[in-house]
Amino acid sequence: MRRRVAALVAVTVLLLVVALPVLATKPEGAGKDTSPITLNGTVELTTDADGRETYTLADGGKTYTLEAGPAWFFGDHYPLKPYLGKQVTIEGEAAAGSTDVEVVSVDGTRLREAGKPPWAGGWRAVGAAHPGWSQAKADRMQAKFGDCFPPGQCKDKPAKDHPGEPDESEAPD
């Protein structure tokens, strides 16, 4: 019996020794730590072979790619567009060793409020501008949930429509 317990303890310890380092490791590209970065230079625009526009800025012998949110969300009103060809100071965040910069401000002007970005929330929150939106999806959601999404979040129904809940006239004193 003691041998079984000792063997079980040994196997458990071995599994922990092997598994913990693997479980503690972040997948590549996930949750990279970013650091503040300040860049000075002229904002340029390049277009790749597929016609995608990329905003860049050269500083200190490196060319940085500037990001201010998804192009599909902004359309012709991309936040960096007014700065094209202008000498600016960019405040942003970049992962260690990366030249991709998430722009926070240009010449001291914040590009958006802190917190959840307006394009977050998927196609239901953003609507037709989102690349994942389709009329068919919107129609299915409407048929299934009406104007109440997420389910259970609609507060305009009277309390008596919810089984088990008293309405205001039945509330205890």
Q: What is the tens place of the pLDDT at every residue in 21-80?
A: 434 433 333 446 889 999 999 999 998 888 888 999 999 999 999 999 888 778 888 999
- The pLDDT tens digits of the residues spanning 64-98 come to 999 998 887 788 889 999 999 999 999 999 999 99
Residue 125: pLDDT band with limits 50, 70, 90: low
Q: Return the beta strands (E) in the chain as ranges.
A: 34-47, 53-59, 62-67, 87-95, 100-106, 109-110
Q: Could you give the CA distance from residue 84 to residue 74 in angstroms, rounded to a whole number?
A: 16
> Higher pLDDT residue, 160 or 141?
141
Predicted confidence at residue 66, as pLDDT, reads: 96
Q: Where are the domains of the chain?
A: 34-110, 126-153
Q: Determine the CATH number of domain 34-110.
A: 2.40.50
Q: What's the CA gap between 92 and 94, in Å, rounded? A: 7
Model pTM score: 0.57
C-alpha–C-alpha distance, residues 91 and 71, integer Å: 20
**pLDDT in the model for residue 17:** 45
Any idea what DSSP says for residue 170? G
